[in-house]
Amino acid sequence: MKEQLALLIKLQEFDRQLNQFREEEKLLPERLNMAQQPLERAKETLAKLKSALDQVTKERKEKEQALQSAEEKITKLKGRLTELKTNKEYQTHLHEIESSNAEKGKIEEELLVAMDRADAVKKEVGAQEKVVVEEEKKFRSEKEALEGALTSRSESMKGVEKERAALSEKIEKNILAEYKRLSATQRGLAVVALKGNICTGCHFSLPPQLVAEVRKGEKVLGCTYCHRILYVAPT
């Protein structure tokens, strides 16, 4: 039975490796999502900056149109000066021209502010575009690394599966069935070491007679409490 126990221990190690690989496969989408977060944040920031640039560009165009309208108004007002007949009308018209010039000056100042803001935001957009490019490179690199590592592991796991299948053929059917049942109910830990008189699966002290029989290695025996298959831990 010592040979059967040795085979079970090896089988459990194969299953541990395969289960670990399956867990890594399940975690890949989550890991890729985490790796992509900096890129998504960079894209979000870029989108906000582009929206701000669109808004300030719109404001700039509105100010340019307002300035054009103000200049056209002043031109028309100046053109009407020769048509005025009384001094009062002339002075009133000059005052209107003066007010229009003041309004034009105000619009020009606002236009300069809008132009400066547009230039500043445009620079921010350019800088953030570079950040996005760098984050895309980082994400692609990390994605390739994660997927590459998993592909490499997948190839090695194929070898493990073949070895496991061959190993299973050497284990007695009733013992293999019990191993499978325990693996399913004991979170993959069907075979555990006996250290002194302690089961390392449930950490309870076992009866002396059971401990002695396990040490003999003549039978495949289970823990009194957790029922896991026991073997003697090497000293």
* pLDDT tens digits, 38-64: 999 999 999 999 999 999 999 999 999
**Residue that finishes a domain, picked among 118, 145, 170:** 170
Beta-bridge partners for 191: 229
Mean pLDDT of the chain: 93
Residue with more model confidence, 234 or 13:
13
43 contacts: CB under 8 Å, gap ≥ 6? 132
Question: What CA–CA distance (Å, rounded) separates 158 from 98?
Answer: 88
**H helix count then E strand count, the chain:** 4, 3
Over residues 179-186, mean pLDDT:
94
> What is the average per-residue pLDDT within 25-29?
92
Judge if 164 and 190 occupy the same domain.
no
Assess whether 155 and 196 both reside in one domain: no
Helix 173-185 to helix 2-79 angle, to the nearest 10 degrees?
40
At residue 222, what are phi and psi to the nearest 5 degrees?
A: -115, 160
**52 occurs within a structural domain:** yes
* Judgement on whether residues 212 and 142 belong to the same structural domain of the protein: no
* pLDDT on residue 235: 65
Q: Is residue 50 part of a domain?
A: yes
pLDDT digits (tens, 9 = 90+) for 107-130: 999 999 999 999 999 999 999 999
> How do residues 66-86 score in pLDDT, each as one tens digit?
999 999 999 888 888 878 778
Q: Do 49 and 156 have their domain in common?
A: yes
10 falls within a domain: no
Other Cβ atoms closer than 10 A to 77: 17
For residue 127, what are the domain limits?
27-170
Domain harbouring 118, CATH code: 1.10.287.1490
Phi and psi dihedrals of 31, rounded to 5? -65, -40
pLDDT of 168 strictly over 70: yes
Residue 208 C-beta-side C-alpha neighbours within 13 Å: 0
Distances in Å between the Cα of 135 and the Cα atoms of 111, 122, 128, 186 are: 36, 20, 10, 43
Domain boundary residue, one of 170, 193, 210:
170
Query: Does some domain include residue 9?
Result: no
Contacts of 35 (CB under 8 A, 6+ apart): 139, 142, 143, 146
The partner residues of 198 in beta bridges, in order of sequence, read 195, 205
**Closest CA relative to residue 149, chosen from 232, 25, 234, 62:** 25
Please identify, among 155, 170, 185, the residue that sits at the C-terminal boundary of a domain.
Answer: 170
Q: Do 185 and 161 share a structural domain?
A: no
pLDDT at 83: 81
Q: How many domains does the chain have?
A: 2
Residues 154 and 203 in one domain: no
Picking from 212, 171, 166, 165, the residue whose alpha carbon sits closest to that of residue 191 is 171
Inside any domain, residue 70? yes
Is position 2 within any domain?
Answer: no
Q: 159 and 197, same structural domain? A: no
Both 159 and 205 in one domain: the answer is no
Distance CA(150)–CA(95), nearest Å, equals: 81
How much of the chain, in percent, has pLDDT values that exceed 70? 100
